[in-house]
Amino acid sequence: MLADGTARNFAGSCTFPTRTGIGLGSSMAARNEPLSEYNRRRDFTKTREPKGKVAPTSGDRKRFLVQKHDATRLHYDFRLEWEGVLKSWAVTRGPSLNPGDKRLAVRTEDHPLAYGDFEGTIPEGEYGGGTVMLWDTGWWEPEDGPAIALRKGKLSFKLHGSRMKGGWALVRIRKRDGDKRENWLLVKETDEIASEDGESLIKENVTSVVTGRTMDEIARGEGEKRARVWHSNRSTAANLKAGAIADKDEALKR
């Protein structure tokens, strides 16, 4: 990785799948094509990361999540559920609440929806080796059609997470000579959630939103069998069966 925090720091595919659906006659290989790069980069006999499979989604609410990832360089992986996968960006300095801060977000390969439950360690020497924390989870609300917005290079949306809330935007910037991946900017919209103290978002939130663990505790493997993520597009019964934990009153609303 380069010391300047540019897009060259992160390996990953920068393709933008344009399919809007999968035909009944499609082969399994075709169904999983958006995740071919994800699978190619990983040895699943060594890593506990989930294998890449395009998953059907239901309901109007689509997940978003942020994983704090201490690999060769600490960064925050920002992921949005769309078309059965998690569209992903590596935010080199983490999200900021200050609309004046334009955080570099490097487009990486699509990840499977199951990756949204992953918290733990990736073995040293493997792709992305290091510690992964589920730093935020929730659902997102696009302002316009995501497929078109992604192609045009500006995606505006609202986040309904435990830590990231309100309006945000991802804006693609012009590719420079030598860039192997697409660079975007993650920017907070001006609203009641915005703050001049943009750094407070990551400075004040240093534990997992799911397990309450610190990065060091995750790295040591402490407390692995704790609460799982509550999925807004699943029934209460299905969430509880999977071991997810939520406030009782909130659970009754879902």
> Which residues of the chain form beta strands (DSSP E)?
62-70, 74-82, 85-91, 102-112, 120-122, 130-142, 154-161, 165-172, 183-188
> Cβ atoms within 10 A of the Cβ of 24, count?
4
187-192: average pLDDT: 98
Rounded to two decimals, what is the model's pTM? 0.77
The domain limits of the chain are 7-223, 229-254
Residue 155 has a pLDDT of: 98
List the structure tokens of 155. 């995606």
pLDDT digit string (tens) for 50-100? 999 998 876 789 999 999 999 999 999 999 999 999 999 999 999 999 999
pLDDT digit string (tens) for 34-54? 999 999 999 999 999 999 999
pLDDT digit string (tens) for 118-139? 999 999 999 999 999 999 999 9
List the structure tokens of 112. 């499977």
Specify the residue for token string 């934990």. Answer: 245
On the 0-12 / 13-18 / 19+ scale of CB atoms within 10 A, 59 is exposed
Listed in sequence order, the residues at least 6 apart from 55 whose beta carbon sits closer than 8 Å to its beta carbon are 84, 85, 112, 113, 114
Average pLDDT, the chain: 83
List the structure tokens of 62. 């689509």
Residue 51 has a pLDDT of: 95
pLDDT band, residue 229 (cuts 50/70/90): low
